[in-house]
Chains A and B, each alone.
Chain A
Amino acid sequence: MYPFKFHRPATVRQAAGLLGRLEDAKLLAGGHTLLPVMKQRLASPAHLVDLSRIEGLAGIEAKGRSLAVGAMTTHAEVADSGVVRAAIPALADLAGQIGDPAVRHRGTLGGSLANNDPTADYPAACLALDATIVTSKRRIKADDFFQGLFQTALEPDEIIVRVLFPIPKKAAYVKFRNQASRYALVGVFVARRPSEVRVAVTGAGTDGVFRMAAFEQALKARFAPKSLDGLTVPAEGLSSDIHASADYRAHLIGVLARRVVEAANKAV
């Protein structure tokens, strides 16, 4: 790791101020993406701005028709939360499948979204649930937030504060894990909302998380695995690597989409 200066602001305002003022500063949340890449010297920020001592950034609250989860809430807190389990059980299930128990004790929602790893789990939940990402500056809809591989709508001095997840009628997440990394080889999140059905796919796209419009249309007519009969997924635009070919990923999306709809129907 290259040297850096460490800052420990007490408020989001101070943290944003530091980001704006300092040359080459990065936020530190759970550190489970940032520290490994700093150790590999793939990142070498001159300043780290620690979010861990800012009050009010972690926590879970059901607010009317949505669930608010603070940016610094850990994966373990979401997985074990009775409030999440009651409102959106699929979200608790998803958080409980991230990495391993020690990773879940440190990794955070905000860090995962800001990083927008194409194989991360949370982006699929945000996109399928039509979440709103609340930052230090504004509110960003999930559809506008994720902008390709490791790219988001966040400005350099913008901090995720919390995420609002509208509570769906039904939802489920099914993940086919990469056995070595535990990330998603392919993961599919489905949400049946009052006005629409959304299907989001992670792990597969060369441009990161994406929605499957054809599946959404078919499921809107009837929310059952059978509705997907005859629909195929083109391999075009899907990633190919040592773990799986684009064709294999395309096939998996179809298989997992059927399973996830079945799971969502069973969950209620």
Chain B
Amino acid sequence: MTRPSLTKISLTVNGKAISASVDPRTLLVTLLREELGLTGTHVGCDTSQCGACVVHVDGKAVKSCTMLALTADGRAVVTIEGLAAEGAPLHPMQEAFRDNHGLQCGFCTPGMIMTAIDIVNRKGHELDDRTIRDELEGNLCRCTGYQNIVKSIAAGAKAMASA
């Protein structure tokens, strides 16, 4: 077994330049939560199934529990904390989840919202139920039964067009 040697990485997280020295085993989600204190990104399953850990890397939704922090070297990462500045109005997708009762316990919500924005980026602002449900394949919620999440995403997608 090799002893872990620290490796230096530089990336941007929510627009801010970050440098860190990481054990190569460090997952992106661990870097975000434990090194940077960005605990909005959750770990639900740690087995790539639930989507609670979804963040954007170079604009694309990825499961941060299934990516090494080293892989994010030189990339731009956006987490739920990066959607709206402290004290500023919420992102339209966040607002839509609030308005449409798209969460109960809230554990899955950061991943749902990051996935939802990625859907809008790829599929546009007019999303039918079928599309939203297909696209949520990798995001699990144990509370809501999904109905209001689907409603929230459709509304948030529309709101993003005029934001």
Which residues of A come within 8 Å of B, CB atoms?
A: 1-6, 28, 31-32, 35-36, 39, 44, 46-48, 50, 52, 76, 80, 99-103, 105-106, 182
Contacts and interface: CB of A to CB of B under 8 A. Distances in A.
B7 interface: yes
Interface string B59-71: 0111100111011
A26 to B, nearest CB: 13
A194 B143 CA distance: 53
Chain B interface SS verdict (over half): mixed
A52 B4 CA distance: 21
A52 B25 contact: no
30 contacts: A1-B25, A2-B1, A2-B25, A3-B1, A3-B2, A3-B24, A3-B25, A4-B2, A4-B24, A6-B7, A28-B68, A36-B47, A36-B66, A39-B46, A44-B1, A47-B2, A50-B70, A52-B71, A100-B139, A101-B61, A101-B118, A101-B137, A102-B51, A102-B54, A102-B62, A102-B63, A102-B138, A103-B48, A105-B61, A106-B62
Nearest to B48: A36
A46 B1 CA distance: 7
Interface of B: 1-5, 7, 23-25, 27, 46-48, 51, 54, 60-63, 66-68, 70-71, 115, 118-119, 122, 135, 137-139
A99 B138 contact: yes
- Give the 8 A-B CB pairs with smallest separation, nearest first: A100-B138, A100-B137, A6-B24, A3-B4, A1-B25, A105-B60, A102-B63, A102-B61
A35 B66 contact: yes
Contacts of B62: 102, 105-106
A106 B66 contact: yes
A48 B24 contact: yes
A3 B48 contact: no
Most chain A CB atoms below 10 A, which of B3, B54, B115, B137: B137
Given A2-B25, A35-B48, A36-B48, 10 more contacts: A3-B1, A3-B24, A4-B25, A39-B46, A46-B1, A76-B60, A100-B139, A102-B63, A105-B62, A106-B67
B48 A32 contact: yes
Contact of B115 (A76, A99, A101): A101
Contacts of B46: 39
Contacts of A1: 25
Contacts of A32: 48, 66
Contact of A100 (B23, B24, B51, B60): B51
A8 B119 CA distance: 31
Contacts of A39: 46-47
Contacts of A28: 68
Contact of B2 (A36, A46, A52): A46
Given A6-B7, A46-B1, A46-B2, A101 B138 contact: yes
B47 to A, nearest CB: 6
Contacts of A182: 137
A264 B51 CA distance: 34
Nearest to A47: B2
B67 A101 contact: no
B60 A5 contact: no
A87 B115 CA distance: 30
Nearest to B66: A35
Contacts of A3: 1-4, 23-25
B136 to A, nearest CB: 8
Contacts of B66: 31-32, 35-36, 106
Nearest to A74: B60
Nearest to B61: A102
